[in-house]
Amino acid sequence: MWFASPPGYYANHTRAEARAQLASLERFSRLLGSFPKASWPTSAAGADVHPVWGHAAPAVAGYAKLARLLVEEEVKRVRVWNDPLGDANAGAAPPAAAPWAELVPLAWQVDPRLALALRDRFPSLEGVRRGLEALVVAHAAEPRVQREPAAALLLAVARPPPRGPPLLPLLAAWAPGDAAEGLQLLCGPAAREPAVRSYAIKCLLNERPEKVVFYLPQLVQLLRGDDGAVAGFFAAAAAASDLFCHQLIWALASEARPPEEAFDPEVKRSGWQPPKDTGLWEVSQAVRRQIEAGMTREQREYWEAQGGYFDKVTSLSGYLYKFSKDERRLRLVEALKKFSPPRDDLYMPTNPDARVLGHIPESGACMQSAAKARPRALSLIARPGWDGRGASGRDSCCAHGKAAPLVPILVAFNVERPQLVEGAAAAAALAAPSGGGGGEGGDGGPAMVRSKLACIFKVGDDVRQDVVALQVITLLHAAYKRAGLGLYLRPYGCLPTGYECGIIECVPNCKSRAALGELSDRPATGL
């Protein structure tokens, strides 16, 4: 059934095809409205059950009313889609005055999926929501209802009947939804119920861990009031996916207790205040210890190679500070020549589809910042722990606060990635990196291409806000793509790796805002 599915879009058509579609819908809408009540199908008493109307022959007029309303709303939507500026009623409210108390149960009689889809088509109407909640509560024990994750979202927030058995335990038998639905439940007031939390975790486990990485910034925040459910999910997902494990450790490091130097820095900016516990300092460290303790030998070796390699790169921030500004670039190039990737399956943390072939020492450069000297690097993500002689320490100077000041750096890396993959954010990556190989995709996979990838290693800046903004951009990018809209958005990778440390992927062939400002005295809008 068309109306049992979420609202669709009609892009990728010519203007003539779009007008023809709209004309067909308008004719069908007029046809529905032209039939007198007496001409609608009826079934005599005692006759066989009608395949659509069932035994409800007297209610056929109600079904017709529901069909007309849905088709008329579809006509309005397609009309606005085809000519959004030409319809004066484009922003008109949905039909709140419709008899939803009658229409929602009728839609449920046809198919619960049709009724549940009304929530997607009329999300602002309380009459639709209330009617659906009542129906889900009344039919919660039916298998056909338990197959619909959308019904679980309604049951979790619905007011249970005053008498009768509790209904939330039925969620244990419900079909799981996707990660977004699980996160929606965990972040809402319904998460106070153990049965709802358990179902939400089941939704998260229903997704591939690599896909849940996108929601890690929000999931880590849930550790504040966690009763063990979220931490348990982290342990299970980290054991199943190396990518999820690595990204989780970096996320936890960014929420852990800051280094002691952060409480009394040498230079205090205007309005400076010491860090305050957000409720995550202790629990983040505890969960990280749990994840690391649960690693197999192979997982630990992989993490030590992945994290240790980027520790060496990021630690150059502190190593360079003792040199004069004129010497820093030369010293950075020399330091980058002293080490290379320890294995061939390391990946770009900001873009897990990109496998690291090696860094380009000559690309190393230092950036200036309004706050203090900043390094930049065309690379993957990095973390500190290197002394300039090729030795790596497991403690990140971002996460654990070495005394030396840090200089942000830029480094370039040769990478190999699938031909069709662009530089999407790491959180949007749908697959873990391959363990090796490459070339022309002889194993049946996509052909691999070699390129360079650039990142800025931010030191002294909190990039967690950047991550949230990029999540919104990524969601909009996906929505535009699904709708076939040719609106350009370029999500790029951004990953916090410790306290006020992180990596931001560079968009190719672009200039920074600061670089553009140096080109002219005019405002940025005039460039």
Plot region of 243 (φ>0 → left; ψ -120 to 50 → alpha; else → beta): alpha
Residues 6 or more apart whose CB falls under 8 angstroms from that of 408 comprise 317, 366, 367, 369, 373, 374, 375, 376, 456, 457, 458, 459, 460
Residues 6 or more apart whose CB falls under 8 angstroms from that of 32 comprise 64, 67, 68, 71
pLDDT tens for 181-199 read 999 999 999 999 999 999 9
Given a contact cutoff of 8 angstroms between Cβ atoms, the answer to whether 33 and 67 are in contact is no
Count CA atoms closer than 13 A to 229's CA, side-chain side. 23
Query: What is the enclosing helix (H) or strand (E) of 458?
Result: strand 448-459
pLDDT tens for 87-106 read 666 666 677 778 899 999 99
Given a contact cutoff of 8 angstroms between Cβ atoms, the answer to whether 460 and 500 are in contact is yes
In a domain, 286, yes or no: no
In a domain, 215, yes or no: no
Please report which confidence band the pLDDT of residue 176 belongs to, taking 50, 70 and 90 as the band edges.
very high
For the entire predicted model, the pTM comes to: 0.82
pLDDT tens for 150-166 read 999 999 999 887 777 89
Given a contact cutoff of 8 angstroms between Cβ atoms, the answer to whether 421 and 448 are in contact is no
- Out of 39-53, 331-345, 356-370, give the one with best mean pLDDT: 331-345
- Least confident range of 119-123, 224-228, 303-307, 399-403: 399-403
> Which carries the bigger pLDDT value, residue 59 or residue 119?
119
Please report which confidence band the pLDDT of residue 50 belongs to, taking 50, 70 and 90 as the band edges.
low
Query: What is the enclosing helix (H) or strand (E) of 31?
Result: helix 15-34
Compute φ and ψ for 64, nearest 5 degrees. Answer: -65, -40
3-state helix, strand, coil in the chain (%, to 5): 50, 10, 40
Q: Which residue has the tokens 């400076």?
A: 272
In a domain, 267, yes or no: no
Q: Which residue has the tokens 């820095």?
A: 265
- Least confident range of 310-319, 323-332, 515-524: 515-524
- Give me 448's structure tokens: 């691999």
Q: Averaged over 228-243, what is the pLDDT? A: 96
In a domain, 328, yes or no: yes
In a domain, 113, yes or no: yes
- Residue 430 neighbours by CB distance under 10 Å: 13
Amino acid symbol at 165: P
Helix 112-121 with 149-157: angle, nearest 10 deg: 70
Q: Is the CA virtual torsion 252, 253, 259, 265 positive or negative?
A: negative
- Give me 485's structure tokens: 């809209």
- Decide which of 111, 139, 167 is a domain's last residue: 139
Q: Averaged over 31-58, what is the pLDDT? A: 60
Short-list 184, 209, 224, 217, CA closest to 469: 217
Q: What integer pLDDT is reported at residue 245 of this predicted model?
A: 97
Helix 242-255 with 281-293: angle, nearest 10 deg: 150
CATH no. for residue 328? 3.30.1010.10
- Decide which of 139, 164, 199 is a domain's last residue: 139
201/183 Cα distance (integer angstroms): 8
Short-list 228, 225, 223, 207, CA closest to 255: 223
- Residue 105 neighbours by CB distance under 10 Å: 17
Residues 6 or more apart whose CB falls under 8 angstroms from that of 163 comprise none
In a domain, 327, yes or no: yes
- Decide which of 139, 156, 176 is a domain's last residue: 139
Domain count, the chain: 2
**Any idea what DSSP says for residue 170?**
G
Residue 86 lies in domain = 1-38+55-139
In a domain, 46, yes or no: no
Q: Averaged over 464-473, what is the pLDDT? A: 95
In a domain, 455, yes or no: yes
CA distances from 383 to 74, 125, 241, 346 (A): 53, 49, 21, 14
- Give me 69's structure tokens: 């309303």
3-class SS at 60? helix
Amino acid symbol at 64: A
- Least confident range of 113-127, 192-206, 215-229, 423-437: 423-437
Q: Over 60: is that where the pLDDT of 448 sits?
A: yes
Burial class (CB in 10 A: 0-12, 13-18, 19+), 423: buried
Please report which confidence band the pLDDT of residue 434 belongs to, taking 50, 70 and 90 as the band edges.
very low
End-to-end CA distance of the chain: 51
Plot region of 49 (φ>0 → left; ψ -120 to 50 → alpha; else → beta): beta
Q: Averaged over 218-224, what is the pLDDT? A: 95
- Residue 92 neighbours by CB distance under 10 Å: 10
Short-list 189, 157, 153, 205, CA closest to 174: 153
Given a contact cutoff of 8 angstroms between Cβ atoms, the answer to whether 378 and 410 are in contact is yes
Bridge partners (DSSP) of residue 502 are: 458, 496
375/368 Cα distance (integer angstroms): 7
